[in-house]
Amino acid sequence: MGGLQKKKFERGSAANYITRNKARRKLQLSLPDFRRLCILKGIYPHEPKHKKKVNKGSTAARTFYLLKDIRFLLHEPIVGKFRDYKVFVRRLKKAYGKTEWSAVERLRENKPTYKLDHIIKERYPSFIDALRDIDDALCMCFLFSTFARTGKCHVQTIQLCRRLTVEWMNYVITSSALRKVFISIKGIYYQAEVMGQLITWVVPYQFSHDHPTDVDYRVMATFTELYTTLLGFVNFRLYHSLNLIYPPKMDSKVEMDQMEDDDYAMTSESNSEKLSALSASLARAVSSAEEEEAELDQFPVEGEDIEQMEAKEKEQKQQKLFKGLKFFLNREAPRESLAFVIRCFGGEVSWDKSLCIGSTYEVTDETITHHIADRPNIEKQYINRYYIQPQWVYDCVNAKMLLPVEDYFLGVNLPPHLSPFVEEKEGDYVPPEKLKIMALQRGEKPANEEEEEDEEEGEEEEEEEGDEEEEEEEDEEEEAEEKNLKMMEEQRSQGKSLQVKVTPGKVKAENSARLEEEEKAEEKRLAIMMMKKKEKYLYDKIMFGKKRKVREANKLAAKRKAHDDAEKSKKKKAKK
396-415: contacts with another protein (CB under 8 A) = 413-414
Secondary structure in 3-state letters for 348-397: EEEECCCCCCCCCCCCCCCCCCEEECCCCCCCCCCCCCEEECCHHHHHHH
Distance CA 385, CA 393 (A): 15
Distance CA 519, CA 525 (A): 10
> Can residue 63 be called a binding residue for another protein (CB under 8 A)?
yes
Which residue in 14, 137, 140, 357 binds another protein (CB under 8 A)?
140
> Can residue 204 be called a binding residue for another protein (CB under 8 A)?
yes
Name residues contacting another protein, limited to 436-465 (CB under 8 A). Answer: none
Say how many residues touch another protein, by CB under 8 A.
104
**φ/ψ of residue 404, rounded to 5:** -60, 135
Q: How many residues does this entry show for the chain? A: 576
We find the least distance from the C-beta atom of residue 297 to another protein, in angstroms, to be 27
Do strands 187-194 and 386-388 pair parallel, antiparallel, or not at all (unpaired)?
A: unpaired
Is the CB of 425 or the CB of 525 nearer to another protein?
525
Do strands 64-66 and 17-19 pair parallel, antiparallel, or not at all (unpaired)?
A: antiparallel
Question: How far is residue 413 CA from its own chain's centroid?
Answer: 26
> Can residue 527 be called a binding residue for another protein (CB under 8 A)?
yes
Which residue in 143, 173, 280, 341 binds another protein (CB under 8 A)?
143
Which residue in 69, 76, 225, 348 binds another protein (CB under 8 A)?
69
Neighbours of 84 (CB within 10 A): 14
The DSSP H or E segment spanning 437 is helix 432-442
> Can residue 28 be called a binding residue for another protein (CB under 8 A)?
no
Distance CA 276, CA 279 (A): 8
> Can residue 365 be called a binding residue for another protein (CB under 8 A)?
no
We find the least distance from the C-beta atom of residue 475 to another protein, in angstroms, to be 27
We find the least distance from the C-beta atom of residue 293 to another protein, in angstroms, to be 26
We find the least distance from the C-beta atom of residue 528 to another protein, in angstroms, to be 6
We find the least distance from the C-beta atom of residue 257 to another protein, in angstroms, to be 25
Burial state string for 543-575 with b = 16 or more CB within 10 A and e = fewer than 16: eeeeeeeeeeeeeeeeeeeeeeeeeeeeeeeee
C-alpha pair distances (Å), 62 with each of 43, 44, 58, 243, 268: 16, 13, 10, 50, 52
Only one of the segments 83-91, 286-294, 497-505, 557-565 lies at the binding site for another protein (rule: CB under 8 A); that segment is 557-565
Which residue in 13, 197, 200, 360 binds another protein (CB under 8 A)?
200
Distance CA 417, CA 402 (A): 15
> Can residue 120 be called a binding residue for another protein (CB under 8 A)?
yes
> Can residue 121 be called a binding residue for another protein (CB under 8 A)?
yes
Only one of the segments 4-12, 96-104, 182-190, 469-477 lies at the binding site for another protein (rule: CB under 8 A); that segment is 182-190
We find the least distance from the C-beta atom of residue 126 to another protein, in angstroms, to be 6
> Can residue 125 be called a binding residue for another protein (CB under 8 A)?
yes
Name residues contacting another protein, limited to 237-256 (CB under 8 A). Answer: 237, 240, 246-247
- The DSSP string of 185-213 is SSEEEEEEEETTEEEEEEEE-SS-----S
Is the CB of 305 or the CB of 449 nearer to another protein?
449
Nearest to 333 by CA among 357, 349, 344, 345: 349
We find the least distance from the C-beta atom of residue 318 to another protein, in angstroms, to be 19
Is the CB of 325 or the CB of 437 nearer to another protein?
437
Distance CA 300, CA 312 (A): 11
We find the least distance from the C-beta atom of residue 457 to another protein, in angstroms, to be 19
Name residues contacting another protein, limited to 534-553 (CB under 8 A). Answer: 535, 538-539, 542-543, 546
Is the CB of 186 or the CB of 572 nearer to another protein?
186
> Can residue 375 be called a binding residue for another protein (CB under 8 A)?
yes
We find the least distance from the C-beta atom of residue 181 to another protein, in angstroms, to be 12
> Can residue 417 be called a binding residue for another protein (CB under 8 A)?
yes
What SS3 state is found at 65?
Answer: strand
Name residues contacting another protein, limited to 495-524 (CB under 8 A). Answer: 519, 522-524
Distance CA 368, CA 350 (A): 9
We find the least distance from the C-beta atom of residue 129 to another protein, in angstroms, to be 8
End-to-end CA distance of the chain: 99
Do strands 348-351 and 370-372 pair parallel, antiparallel, or not at all (unpaired)?
A: unpaired
We find the least distance from the C-beta atom of residue 383 to another protein, in angstroms, to be 24
Only one of the segments 171-179, 216-224, 303-311, 399-407 lies at the binding site for another protein (rule: CB under 8 A); that segment is 216-224
Q: Are 152 and 264 in contact (CB under 8 A)?
A: no
Contacts by residues 149-154 (CB-CB < 8 Å, ≥ 24 positions apart): 151/211, 152/211, 152/217, 153/217, 153/220, 153/221, 153/224, 154/221
> Can residue 172 be called a binding residue for another protein (CB under 8 A)?
no
